[in-house]
A and B are shown apart, each in its own frame.
Chain A
Amino acid sequence: MSMPVLEVGNLTVDAGEIVALLGGNGAGKTALLEAVLGIRPASGPVVLFGRDVSAMTVEQRVSLGVGYVPEGRRVFAGLTVRENLEVASLLPAVGRDRRIEEMLALFPMLGERPEARAWLLSGGQQQMLALARALMNRPRLLLMDEPTLGLAPLVVADLLRRLPRMAVDGTAIVLAEQRAGLALTVAGRGLVLRRGQIIRTGSAAELAADPGLADLMAGG
């Protein structure tokens, strides 16, 4: 399939691709992801899987195959692990339960305590829960916003190792990160955002080798 998964502004993402969205605080990374998801109005057209979805609601876009891992994880604190997964599912009960079991198996640290209330989980467990929640409907496009923030190095490594595996299965991933070095270890391409504009693009290798990258990133 040659059709891009996402086209917005001058950003195009193909199936199975991991694109790092780099930039400092306030560079516009979250705004871009939210516009794709439809939770914030976009300034131009948003095309998902070849269809212009500008007029679609968030629910419709999610059911087309978009998953979202927000900054700060935002798991539903009073709900249990299982319930957090359940509410995100668009499937009827039988398929839903099967998918939850798959997720609990995929994330052993969740599988250990599926009935725990989410606010009792550690930061790392919450981040995995947020990711599992976003994967419930087998998205073809996964949007992740600063998923490594505030996590212990081991958890970060675990998280990042998972992304290429998902990409191999055809999921496209847009990974917004301030920590460019981290993101570029898993991404194929990167873009640097500043004040809402893409100011630099390149392959991960190119960007990682660029000595000026730290200044671009820090430039706000």
Chain B
Amino acid sequence: MRALGPFWIAILLLPPVLALTVLPPFGQRMVVLVGIYALMGLGYQLVFGQLGALNLAQGALFGVGAYAAALAAPALGWLALSVAIVAAAVPAAIAAGPILRLQSHYFALATLALASIVNLVAIHAEAVTGGANGVSGFASALPRGSVLLAIVWACLVMGVLAYSRLFGGRLGEEARLVREAPLVAATLGIDGGRWRVAAFIAGGSLAGLSGAFAAALNGVVSPDVTGFPVMVLCLTSVVVGGSRHPMGAVLGAVLAVCLPELLRDFQGAWLLVYAAATLAVVLWAPGGLAEGIDRLRGAPLPVRPEPAVPERLLPAAGPQRLVLADVAKRFGGVEALSDVSLAIERGEIVGLIGPNGSGKTTLLNVICGLDRADSGTIKLDTAHLERLPPHAIARHGLGRSFQSNMLPGDTRSAGLARAISTHAAFLLLDEPAAGATDREREQLASLLRRLRDAGRGVVIVDHDIDLLARVCDRLICLDRGKVIAVGRPADVRANPDVRASFLGLEEAVA
């Protein structure tokens, strides 16, 4: 993704310009409606598109905004718009904490339950909401006609431009990491939790605002605005338009407003067409309409910058020593790590070897916070890491790369490059040579030496003992969670315990 080109900006500005110059009042109304749906969809893109979380409460928050505006307008006038934003953002913020931790299927359920409660309240709390009759008689206190049109579209244009700028760069890449590889994101120091809460609240605020505009446009607010059909409309239009493209929500909204008019003779058929289109998009064109148009007009596809190892490795600031003392970790009845103690200095490359299941990857996970140690201490200089979440550990200067490519489309070295680019003082590398050609192994060896020269501390797990022996200052051999040998590579390789552990000889004796 990148900033919007002139083509899309022209399309974005076309509807309001047409509406203010040539369209009849009926057309103006449609344009306002497009703006309202697009604004709600834009908010939805933050949570659904960027974070990939199926939020089914966006329609309900839209309804909350509408009611809030309708109820507050007689007393507060235009200020009611901001009341609507707050009214939608507050429940979003309250719900965000507990809900966003849930796995996808529970998250969808929780948001659906939330939406159902809002809907029931709207219908049955007659004293406040007027029940099925709804609230009316407030419209004169809110912006109307072309003023409303101008405000709605001003908000939308600003929103779309801000969105495309924000997600065209670093933030977009961060969002992708949080969405597609949350573990990688955490080890790069990205706080996924805060990210999600922020997106959820911002998305809810936009829903509230668009709900308020809808109240202003219609002059009446009835329980229908909180109903599931609104949610389905929002979801389908964002999917059809393009769930991450800055123009996706706008295109989806245009279709959602125009289709019913085009198919007016077949009542209800438009929703059928729309739902079928959504299904088709999900199955065959996950990028949506906006990306399809980009492709058709031959716009250069958004090139994701391939993470690369920096040309010059600058000396990194931060801690000098990584020290583990008596670290233990059990999984069920199995002792994955027992009393592991070791210290690594800057400018040192330490190889971690051992047969399958000896605890190498577990050790890396425990150091970088993806697994919690049951006992023992892990320190960077004087800072204790045992209780910190992974992203906080990463910010203390500890980087990590993973065994396999965690992100679709990454090349083999991308994860490694990403970890190095954080300028972490210490790096934990899990099998960076797996599946590499001989030439790539040579490049890796020279990269490791450069890291040492730049004063980084490196812990590397790999099965290529020859490679490790050539570049490492020390080797540590693990067997069934215990350190059985530490020392210079040649000594460790010659160690009879180490050789026996690789061949599994000790078992035959037992």
Contacts and interface: CB of A to CB of B under 8 A. Distances in A.
Contact of B463 (A24, A213, A214): A24
Interface string A56-69: 00000000000000
A220 B434 contact: yes
A220 B462 contact: yes
Contacts of A185: 508
Contacts of A180: 502-504
A150 B503 contact: no
Given A149-B356, A179-B355, A219 B466 contact: yes
B304 interface: no
Interface string B190-210: 000000000000000000000
Nearest to A154: B510
A127 to B, nearest CB: 13
Contact of B510 (A122, A153, A177, A217): A153
Which of B355, B433, B435, B504 has the most chain A CB atoms inside 10 A of its CB?
A: B504
A201 interface: no
B505 interface: yes
Contact of B435 (A26, A123, A182): A26
A105 interface: no
Contacts of B356: 24-25, 146, 149, 178
What range describes how many residues of B lie at the interface? 20 to 34
B463 A220 contact: yes
B478 to A, nearest CB: 13
Given A149-B357, A150-B334, A219 B503 contact: no
A156 interface: yes
B509 to A, nearest CB: 9
What range describes how many residues of A lie at the interface? 20 to 34
B499 interface: yes
A181 B503 contact: yes
Contacts of B334: 123, 150
Interface in A171-220: 177-183, 185, 213-215, 217-220
A1 to B, nearest CB: 32
A148 B507 contact: yes
B503 A179 contact: yes
B11 interface: no
Given A146-B356, A179-B355, A218 B507 contact: no
Interface string B471-493: 00000000000000000000001
Contacts of B434: 26, 220
A187 to B, nearest CB: 12
B128 interface: no
B510 A156 contact: yes
B465 A219 contact: yes
A25 B504 CA distance: 14
Given A25-B463, A26-B435, A214-B499, A182 B355 contact: no
B235 interface: no
A182 B507 CA distance: 7
A157 interface: yes
A217 B502 contact: yes
Contacts of B499: 214
Contacts of A146: 356
A62 to B, nearest CB: 27
B500 A181 contact: yes
Contacts of A214: 499, 502-503
A116 B108 CA distance: 35
Nearest to A182: B504
B326 interface: no
A37 to B, nearest CB: 21
Contacts of B424: none
Contacts of B380: none
Nearest to A213: B503
A178 B463 CA distance: 12
B206 to A, nearest CB: 44
Nearest to A177: B504
A179 B353 contact: no
Nearest to B508: A185
Nearest to A179: B504
A148 B504 contact: yes
Nearest to B509: A153
A59 B379 CA distance: 53
Contacts of A220: 433-434, 462-465
Nearest to A195: B435
Contacts of A181: 500, 503-505, 507-508
B358 to A, nearest CB: 10
A179 B355 CA distance: 8
A122 B504 CA distance: 22
Given A146-B356, A220-B464, A156 B503 contact: no
Contacts of B505: 181-182
Which of B431, B435, B503, B510 has the most chain A CB atoms inside 10 A of its CB?
A: B503
A123 B508 CA distance: 19
B465 A218 contact: yes
Given A217-B502, A218-B463, A150 B507 contact: no
Contacts of A219: 463-466
29 contacts: A26-B431, A26-B463, A123-B333, A149-B356, A150-B334, A153-B507, A153-B510, A156-B507, A157-B507, A178-B504, A179-B502, A180-B502, A181-B500, A181-B503, A181-B504, A181-B508, A182-B503, A182-B504, A182-B507, A183-B504, A213-B503, A214-B502, A214-B503, A218-B465, A219-B463, A219-B464, A219-B465, A219-B466, A220-B464
